[in-house]
Amino acid sequence: MKKILFICHGNICRSPMAEYVMKHLVAEAGLADAIYIESAATSTEEIGNGVHHGTRRLLDQHHIPCPPRRARQITARDWREFDYLICMDGRNISNARRQLGEPQGQLCRLLDFAGRPGQDIADPWYTGDFELTYDDVLQGCTALLAQLQEEL
């Protein structure tokens, strides 16, 4: 089983969006038993809070299930348990490295998989543009799924 952890700053907008988009794509591909997906934050600011209403609204528009969940922070255990630690931007990578040490080269950006290395997924908390974030997340998750299908 491949295990994926999506990481962003607060775990209420981008990383849960990626978690639910990826779960949806994986289920459609019939691989739910082969790929496990979660998300987490680098900060403590939103710990315990639910998914941002903008993310929930957009996922609902695309008919992607968004069951209730609470934000959590990454832990040292995560880099031992997950095959992929996928960040939404460079600051998430820096913060995760500071918190986890160097997790064996597992840290990368989601858009790296889409042939857009080094590009960040904009934080809709600040931009207000959940649609742009969704488009980038979908592109990254689709490319990640294609890679995982080759690995399985």
Has 8 been annotated as catalytic?
A: yes
Candidates 8, 66, 87, 141; catalytic one: 8
Q: Which two tokens stand for residue 55?
A: 């993310």
Candidates 87, 123, 136, 141; catalytic one: 123
**Sign of the C-alpha dihedral computed for residues 2, 87, 78 and 80 taken in this order:** positive
Q: Are 23 and 57 in contact (CB under 8 A)?
A: no
Candidates 13, 14, 66, 89; catalytic one: 14
Paired strand residues for 73: 41
In this structure, the dihedral spanned by the alpha carbons of residues 95, 97, 101 and 105, taken in order and rounded to 10 degrees, is: 160
In which element (H, E) is residue 143 found? helix 130-151
Q: Which two tokens stand for residue 117?
A: 């290395």
Has 116 been annotated as catalytic?
A: no
The candidate with the shortest Cα–Cα distance to 110, out of 33, 15, 43, is: 15
Has 141 been annotated as catalytic?
A: no
For residues 47 and 70, what is the distance between their CA atoms, to the nearest angstrom? Answer: 7
Catalytic residues: 8, 14, 123
